Chains A and B, each alone.
Chain A
């Protein structure tokens, strides 16, 4: 992991502690830029200086581990970046295409092109395949983006909704509202789930602020313990009310029930993703710590509040509509920041594309292995995601941060 990727991974939110101060200036050098303007619109000169932060920062990382993906990156030229993005988009488009034509009903590309679809095939496409593919694209990219935003705000690479108690809190909220006010419309249930998700995440931050963090790994551990505690409250409630099975169905991501009319709420997370993109530079700055953020003229609290709201809303909506997609928000941003650092505005499109592509691929696998029945996506993502998570944990040299 490049140093750019994470200045103060080991520290909690409470600002520049004595910790590893070295990389901060280097990174700051690179990242002050986004704060005072939108680098996307800058001339090439501006972008060169910005990207210079990359090599400067990664020099720190590469001193311990040169082969670490952090070797002085030849700055990806604008053209190469564009081409890369284009290729990635094309890849996701191909996967989305495959997703449209994989399923119980036989619908072939040839039939669509020739325009001779039976009524049943047309119905399959319009009411089942397209909604499903859209919902995968929305949920996959949004959870990946939210993972990255969370990692910046908490300043730890191993945090994401499912390792910080956010997903579990949303689930608890959904359970509570179902028990207390079963007749509430879905939007209302979602609002309650969002409030719970927000509260759970703030609780997580409050705990982090109070404990001494000696290792990067402690942060996700704390998060997972918190998730475990919240999960056990849910389990207890569900047990007392005979809802254990229902709870596990909710918490396991599953696109099998997605059809027209049952996924549209996911557009909300699409909106959240757009907001995240627009506010990307602020999150990047907030990732540098409270003091620096304040010095740069931003309200740290406001940025945090915005970020956490996006995280909570997205997690809650995805849990309500689809279920849990564990580790997705962790794996994808890490892979992207290995390649291109943590400048959010640049990496967000990649994170979104990769997240969508990853979920698409997993869902296609889930739909094919026991065709025409399905393996729930939460299971597939969980298996693949946890393997990559372990790999990311273990590959870090012990001294590196």
Chain B
């Protein structure tokens, strides 16, 4: 119902814009049009770092955030530039010839961007720091969100992109699908007992709590935190194996960071965790150790299809 209204509104704006153009480009704009409507129309988008005027339905889009890329892919939006080195395997087509490599997840390659001349740049999480510089040259939006309320954050980031490309309906639809899956899985999460999210990297173990990027396991899917007083830091905290043994989680969710970013040669998570202290936990004894898909949980983190896959992964592990 409301979507109909929204579509009608868009149509009205478009028609009036056309009317303005056909009126011979006179300085007199129609009363209801906001700003000058003579040039290609723009919309103002609110995002994590303020508001930006972006062209309505931009055509040349460069994306620095893999979650945003996933959302755009789901929404069938064409993209011209991505940081190719970090594209996850399930979005592999974006490493093809027809796409331009625009740097890394953290650092834009400004020359490549200049050649590409995008009319929209999307940054998020790792690339958010490049926003001030990028926004000088291109309409740029930042889809970063605070993961303490993960679903609200997803709605925000996907909503921003949906708004720009006029795909609010598709976004709403995908979000509704995710909500439904969450409702299916949550009872299993609540019944699963306690859980703990560990990340291994270079032989070191950090624990990640509800505020972390893995927090949706607790906040959305209802698994109880085995050690709720630790790990307020979004990047996790260094813990000894004693903490794991003591908290005695029923479920261990493990992200092998080295594997997630394609590092070889380090110790695998299985190797690091295979010790007598971890072996004393219920999770280990009952074989309830879930190795998360690092690309999805660590690299991409959000995105309409990715989040669904993430919660499905947990759901399957919990037997929901």
* Nearest chain A CB to B295 CB, angstrom units: 13
Task: Pick the interface stretch among B31-39, B115-123, B165-173, B242-250.
Answer: B242-250
* A219 and B197 alpha carbons, distance in the complex (Å): 47
Contact with B along A155-175 (1 / 0, CB 8 A): 000000000000000000000
User: Are B257 and A245 within 8 A (Cβ)?
Assistant: yes
User: Are A104 and B275 within 8 A (Cβ)?
Assistant: no
Give the B interface residue count (CB, 8 A).
33
What residue of chain B has the Cβ atom nearest to residue A379's Cβ?
B238
Contact with A along B270-282 (1 / 0, CB 8 A): 0010011100100
* A105 and B242 alpha carbons, distance in the complex (Å): 6
**Which of A104, A132, A246, A261 touches B239 (beta carbons < 8 Å)?**
A104
User: Are A374 and B237 within 8 A (Cβ)?
Assistant: yes
What residue of chain B has the Cβ atom nearest to residue A175's Cβ?
B265
Contact with B along A186-229 (1 / 0, CB 8 A): 00000000000000000000000000000000000000000000
* A254 and B276 alpha carbons, distance in the complex (Å): 20
Q: Tell me if A372 is interfacial: C-beta within 8 Å of chain B.
A: yes
User: Are B238 and A373 within 8 A (Cβ)?
Assistant: yes
**Which of A103, A123, A250, A372 touches B280 (beta carbons < 8 Å)?**
A123
**Which of B85, B240, B261, B262 touches A104 (beta carbons < 8 Å)?**
B240
List of B residues within 8 angstroms of A103 by Cβ:
240, 242
* A128 and B202 alpha carbons, distance in the complex (Å): 20
A249 with B203, Cβ < 8 A, contacts A123-B280, A262-B275 known: yes
What residue of chain A has the Cβ atom nearest to residue B229's Cβ?
A372
Q: Tell me if A178 is interfacial: C-beta within 8 Å of chain B.
A: yes
List of A residues within 8 angstroms of B182 by Cβ:
none
User: Are A246 and B263 within 8 A (Cβ)?
Assistant: yes
Using C-beta atoms within 8 Å of the partner chain, give the interface range for chain A: 20 to 34
User: Are A259 and B238 within 8 A (Cβ)?
Assistant: no
User: Are B237 and A370 within 8 A (Cβ)?
Assistant: yes
* A375 and B238 alpha carbons, distance in the complex (Å): 7
List of B residues within 8 angstroms of A259 by Cβ:
241, 275-277
User: Are B230 and A372 within 8 A (Cβ)?
Assistant: yes
A256 with B204, Cβ < 8 A, contacts A241-B263, A374-B240 known: yes
User: Are A104 and B242 within 8 A (Cβ)?
Assistant: yes
* A359 and B298 alpha carbons, distance in the complex (Å): 34
Q: Tell me if A120 is interfacial: C-beta within 8 Å of chain B.
A: yes
Q: Tell me if B207 is interfacial: C-beta within 8 Å of chain A.
A: yes
User: Are B263 and A124 within 8 A (Cβ)?
Assistant: no
* Nearest chain B CB to A369 CB, angstrom units: 11
* Nearest chain A CB to B100 CB, angstrom units: 21
Q: Tell me if A182 is interfacial: C-beta within 8 Å of chain B.
A: yes
**Which of B205, B237, B241 touches A128 (beta carbons < 8 Å)?**
B241
* A259 and B203 alpha carbons, distance in the complex (Å): 12
* A145 and B166 alpha carbons, distance in the complex (Å): 68
Q: Tell me if B264 is interfacial: C-beta within 8 Å of chain A.
A: yes
User: Are B238 and A246 within 8 A (Cβ)?
Assistant: no
User: Are B275 and A261 within 8 A (Cβ)?
Assistant: yes
* Nearest chain A CB to B47 CB, angstrom units: 28
* A18 and B238 alpha carbons, distance in the complex (Å): 53
List of A residues within 8 angstroms of B257 by Cβ:
245
List of B residues within 8 angstroms of A249 by Cβ:
201-204
Q: Tell me if A242 is interfacial: C-beta within 8 Å of chain B.
A: yes
List of B residues within 8 angstroms of A245 by Cβ:
201-202, 257
List of A residues within 8 angstroms of B262 by Cβ:
242
List of B residues within 8 angstroms of A104 by Cβ:
239-240, 242-243, 245-246
User: Are B276 and A376 within 8 A (Cβ)?
Assistant: no
* A250 and B227 alpha carbons, distance in the complex (Å): 26
Q: Tell me if A257 is interfacial: C-beta within 8 Å of chain B.
A: yes
Q: Tell me if A243 is interfacial: C-beta within 8 Å of chain B.
A: yes
Q: Tell me if A260 is interfacial: C-beta within 8 Å of chain B.
A: yes
* A262 and B240 alpha carbons, distance in the complex (Å): 13
List of B residues within 8 angstroms of A260 by Cβ:
276
Q: Tell me if A179 is interfacial: C-beta within 8 Å of chain B.
A: yes
* A178 and B237 alpha carbons, distance in the complex (Å): 25
* A135 and B238 alpha carbons, distance in the complex (Å): 18
What residue of chain B has the Cβ atom nearest to residue A239's Cβ?
B104
Point out residues on A near B: beta carbons under 8 Å: 103-105, 120, 123-124, 127-128, 132, 178-179, 182, 241-243, 245-247, 249-250, 254, 256-257, 259-262, 370, 372-376
21 sample A-B contacts, Cβ–Cβ < 8 Å, listed by A number: A104-B240, A104-B242, A104-B243, A104-B245, A127-B277, A242-B85, A243-B263, A246-B263, A249-B202, A250-B202, A256-B238, A257-B204, A257-B205, A257-B240, A372-B227, A372-B230, A373-B231, A373-B238, A373-B239, A374-B239, A376-B238
